[in-house]
């Protein structure tokens, strides 16, 4: 039963390279810049790069593209490593572009000697002005024809720290009239007297992306350098540098980056959400970051499954966040322990149940288990049910509690509502019911069958808990299409806190790495904000709710 799964276009290229003998094994790399936390879009790239070398002979390196000391920090390096490991992938080598600074410097010297690079004294504005536009050629810099000796000396002085920031750059000498703007004498090195998170103050000149990335790939013998579509125009320069430097010819391939509905997917915007306190931090459970999803209760399996289902292609896309939710529900349904928690309590008194009596009911931990295991749930005369599970004047097809109506209490008895108690203001304060003694779960001889089953918690055994309910961070589906500032579309109701929920006693021993399904409520996990005094649960995702959908129609 080996159904051929079709290959994506990158796998096709690799199989061809392997089949025709161009390569016998492959090397890929995941090259994050440590200037922010990884998001779900990066997960696609991680799954692709590491997945390829799981499937084909070869290995994947983790290489930090740390060529801009101004925005990069060790905190980000650590978070990135943790996120990749959590996703379940292992890199062969942990590398840094900054490790190659000496080599890169030599490459630059080589270009100067080849007459293919020069030191330019122009200002940033002057360079921009001479750059031309996509439809007009640029003009040559007045410094373009400096002698090799002068260039060598100037570049050495740049490195020595003789010149202030921004006063000089090293540029490739290509063609100011090139139709590809990136080939119009691109800047290779700039001066930044800035402290680097790894090299400290050893350098005051730093290579640009284009002069670091391809060369780093080449140094590592990366065979297939996979990046996103916006780097397509860079490929020409990537190839040019490799050719002129006569170094290992890594090849770049581009795929379309991932977009998700109801969220933003750029580190710049995510950083803004963090800095301007729209969320608690990078790992806020509403964030589309890996750490956010982790804290929210998503599993690595579900994220990998999502990436797998979405696939790899070259066209712009906006993926329905519903697919991600489907993937996490699918996994959590299999592994989550079922528990009962009442969010918004309504007291039920079972008038014909003996006062002070407590029965231990057996309730299955997970009906999906191959061998079902059970936990004890205490049952007594006074219970809490969900306020929304009772209606005094119910509509048709309301299979819950209502005057004269019967329901089953999950894993316990069938009860019938006899009386509604109200306060002076007319609010329902209590519902008085009678139970069918012969309807006990597992030994039901009552002959009564009911449509509805409710979750419940015994009042005297209830454990208090805080529950945090999350909704989408933005109000519009496609932020790319939305006009104006993306922050105008923030969903201010994306976090709803239930401060006083009532949980069954089994949750008292809830563990951080365990996933729970609160019956009829959704999937939850213990949050790191929990302490001795209060347990905090995050809602990972709701259950599908056919009743809510039915009601929406009316």
Partner RNA sequence: UGGCCAAUGGUGUAAUGGUAACACAGCAGAUUUUGGUUCUGUUAUUCUUGGUUCGAGUCCAGGUUGGCCAACCA
Q: Which of residues 497-526 bind RNA (CB under 7 A)?
A: 517, 519-520
Catalytic (active site) residue 468: no
Dist. CA 451–CA 180, nearest whole Å: 68
Q: Measured from the CB atom, is 338 or 381 closer to RNA?
A: 338
76-95 residues in contact with RNA (CB under 7 A) are none
218-237 residues in contact with RNA (CB under 7 A) are 229-234
Which of 3, 20, 276, 397 touches RNA by CB under 7 A? Answer: 397
Dist. CA 217–CA 233, nearest whole Å: 17
Regarding 543 and contact with RNA (CB under 7 A), the answer is yes
From the CB of 285, what's the least distance to RNA, in Å? 20
- The active-site residue, picked from 267, 329, 381, 539, is 267
Dist. CA 264–CA 477, nearest whole Å: 10
338-367 residues in contact with RNA (CB under 7 A) are 338, 366-367
149-188 residues in contact with RNA (CB under 7 A) are 165-169, 179-182, 187
By CB under 7 A, the count of residues binding RNA is 95
- The active-site residue, picked from 110, 198, 257, 472, is 257
Regarding 335 and contact with RNA (CB under 7 A), the answer is no
Catalytic (active site) residue 314: no
Q: Measured from the CB atom, is 180 or 491 closer to RNA?
A: 180
Helices (H) and strands (E) in the chain, counts: 13, 25
From the CB of 174, what's the least distance to RNA, in Å? 14
From the CB of 532, what's the least distance to RNA, in Å? 30
Q: Measured from the CB atom, is 229 or 358 closer to RNA?
A: 229
Q: Measured from the CB atom, is 446 or 530 closer to RNA?
A: 446
From the CB of 533, what's the least distance to RNA, in Å? 29
Regarding 333 and contact with RNA (CB under 7 A), the answer is yes
Window contacting RNA (CB under 7 A); options: 39-47, 98-106, 208-216, 283-291: 208-216
Which of 55, 90, 195, 544 touches RNA by CB under 7 A? Answer: 544
Which of 8, 199, 491, 530 touches RNA by CB under 7 A? Answer: 8
Contact 344, 384 (CB under 8 A): no
Q: Measured from the CB atom, is 262 or 284 closer to RNA?
A: 262
Token representation of residue 52: 């390829």
Q: Measured from the CB atom, is 238 or 470 closer to RNA?
A: 238
420-479 residues in contact with RNA (CB under 7 A) are 439-442, 444, 452-455
Contact 225, 193 (CB under 8 A): no
Regarding 387 and contact with RNA (CB under 7 A), the answer is no
Q: Measured from the CB atom, is 253 or 278 closer to RNA?
A: 253
Regarding 310 and contact with RNA (CB under 7 A), the answer is yes
270-299 residues in contact with RNA (CB under 7 A) are none
Number of residues that this document lists for the chain: 554
DSSP 401-466: B-TT-EEEETTS-EEEEEEEEE-TTS-EEEEEEEE-GGG-TTS--S----S-EE--EEGGG-EEEE
Report the interhelical angle of 74-87 vs 300-310 (nearest 10°).
80
Regarding 547 and contact with RNA (CB under 7 A), the answer is yes
Contact 215, 241 (CB under 8 A): yes
Contact 148, 112 (CB under 8 A): yes
Q: Measured from the CB atom, is 230 or 499 closer to RNA?
A: 230
Dist. CA 269–CA 275, nearest whole Å: 10
235-264 residues in contact with RNA (CB under 7 A) are 256
Regarding 307 and contact with RNA (CB under 7 A), the answer is no
CB atoms within 10 A of CB 179: 11
Window contacting RNA (CB under 7 A); options: 18-26, 117-125, 346-354, 531-539: 117-125
From the CB of 494, what's the least distance to RNA, in Å? 20
The kind and range of the H/E element at 329 are: helix 321-335
Catalytic (active site) residue 33: yes
From the CB of 531, what's the least distance to RNA, in Å? 28
Phi, psi for 489 (deg, rounded to 5): -105, 10
Residues 6+ apart with CB under 8 A from 207: 67, 97, 101, 104, 108, 188, 189
CB atoms within 10 A of CB 453: 18
From the CB of 56, what's the least distance to RNA, in Å? 15
Q: Measured from the CB atom, is 42 or 284 closer to RNA?
A: 42
Regarding 375 and contact with RNA (CB under 7 A), the answer is no
From the CB of 189, what's the least distance to RNA, in Å? 8
From the CB of 330, what's the least distance to RNA, in Å? 6
Regarding 408 and contact with RNA (CB under 7 A), the answer is yes
Window contacting RNA (CB under 7 A); options: 48-56, 73-81, 290-298, 310-318: 310-318
Regarding 71 and contact with RNA (CB under 7 A), the answer is yes
Q: Measured from the CB atom, is 88 or 452 closer to RNA?
A: 452
Greatest distance between any 2 Cα atoms in the chain: 102
Q: Measured from the CB atom, is 7 or 497 closer to RNA?
A: 7
Residue 18's nearest CA partner among 223, 280, 234 is 223
- Angle at the Cα of 481 (from 479 to 486), degrees rounded to 5? 40
Contact 195, 249 (CB under 8 A): no
Q: In what order do the strands lie in the sheet with 94-96?
A: 26-30, 58-64, 94-96
Which of 57, 142, 322, 464 touches RNA by CB under 7 A? Answer: 322
Regarding 199 and contact with RNA (CB under 7 A), the answer is no
List 206's β-bridge partners, or say none: 190
CB atoms within 10 A of CB 27: 21
DSSP 175-233: -TT-SSGGGSS-EEEEE----BTTTBTS-SEEE-HHHHHHHHHHHTT-SEEEEEGGGTT
The catalytic residues are 33, 257, 267
């Amino acid at each position: 039963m080996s159904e051929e799964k079709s290959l994506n276009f990158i796998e096709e290229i690799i199989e061809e390279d392997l089949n025709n003998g161009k390569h016998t094994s492959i090397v890929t790399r995941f090259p994050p810049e440590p200037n922010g936390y990884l998001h779900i879009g990066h997960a696609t790239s991680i799954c692709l790069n590491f997945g390829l070398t799981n499937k084909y002979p070869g290995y994947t390196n983790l290489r930090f593209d740390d060529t801009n000391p101004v925005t990069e920090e060790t905190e980000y390096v650590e978070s990135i490593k943790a996120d990749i490991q959590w996703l379940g992938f292992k890199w062969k080598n942990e590398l840094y572009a900054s490790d190659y600074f000496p080599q890169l410097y030599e490459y630059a010297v080589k270009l100067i000697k080849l007459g293919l690079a020069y030191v330019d004294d122009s200002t940033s504005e002057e360079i921009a002005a001479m750059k031309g536009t996509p439809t007009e050629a640029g003009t040559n810099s007045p410094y373009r024809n400096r002698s090799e000796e002068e260039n060598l000396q100037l570049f050495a002085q740049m490195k020595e720290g003789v010149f202030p920031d921004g006063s000089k750059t090293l540029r490739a000498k290509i063609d100011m009239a090139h139709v590809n703007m990136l080939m119009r004498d691109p800047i290779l090195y700039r001066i930044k007297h800035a402290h680097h998170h790894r090299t400290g103050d050893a350098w005051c000149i730093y290579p640009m992306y284009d002069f670091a990335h391809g060369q780093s790939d080449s140094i590592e013998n990366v065979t297939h350098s996979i990046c996103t579509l916006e780097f397509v125009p860079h490929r020409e320069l990537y190839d040019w540098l490799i050719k002129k430097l006569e170094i290992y010819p890594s090849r770049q391939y581009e795929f379309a980056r991932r977009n998700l509905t109801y969220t933003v997917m750029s580190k710049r915007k995510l950083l803004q959400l963090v800095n301007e306190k729209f969320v608690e931090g990078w790992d806020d459970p509403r964030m589309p970051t890996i750490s956010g999803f982790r804290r929210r209760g998503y599993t690595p399996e579900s994220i990998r499954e999502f990436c797998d289902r979405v696939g790899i292609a070259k066209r712009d896309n906006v993926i329905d966040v519903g697919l991600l939710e489907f993937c996490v529900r699918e996994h959590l349904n299999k592994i989550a322990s079922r528990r009962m928690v009442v969010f918004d309590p309504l007291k039920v008194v079972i008038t014909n149940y003996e006062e002070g009596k407590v029965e231990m009911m057996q309730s299955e931990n997970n009906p999906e288990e191959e061998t079902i295991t059970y936990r004890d749930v205490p049952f007594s005369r006074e219970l809490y049910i969900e306020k929304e599970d009772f209606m005094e004047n119910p509509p048709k097809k309301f299979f819950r509690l209502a005057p004269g109506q019967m329901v089953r209490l999950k894993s316990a008895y069938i009860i019938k509502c006899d009386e509604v108690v109200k306060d002076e203001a007319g609010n329902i304060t209590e519902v008085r019911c009678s139970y069918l003694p012969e309807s006990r779960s597992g030994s039901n001889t009552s002959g009564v069958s009911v449509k509805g089953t409710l979750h419940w918690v015994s009042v005297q055994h209830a454990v208090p808990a805080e529950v945090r309910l999350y909704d989408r961070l933005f109000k519009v589906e496609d932020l790319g299409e939305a006009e104006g500032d993306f922050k105008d579309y923030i969903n201010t109701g994306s976090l709803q806190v239930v401060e006083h929920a009532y949980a069954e006693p089994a949750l008292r021993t809830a563990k951080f790495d365990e996933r729970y399904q609160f019956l009829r409520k959704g999937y939850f996990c213990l949050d790191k904000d929990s302490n001795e005094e209060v347990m905090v649960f995050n809602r990972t995702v709701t259950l599908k709710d056919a009743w809510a959908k039915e009601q929406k129609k009316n």
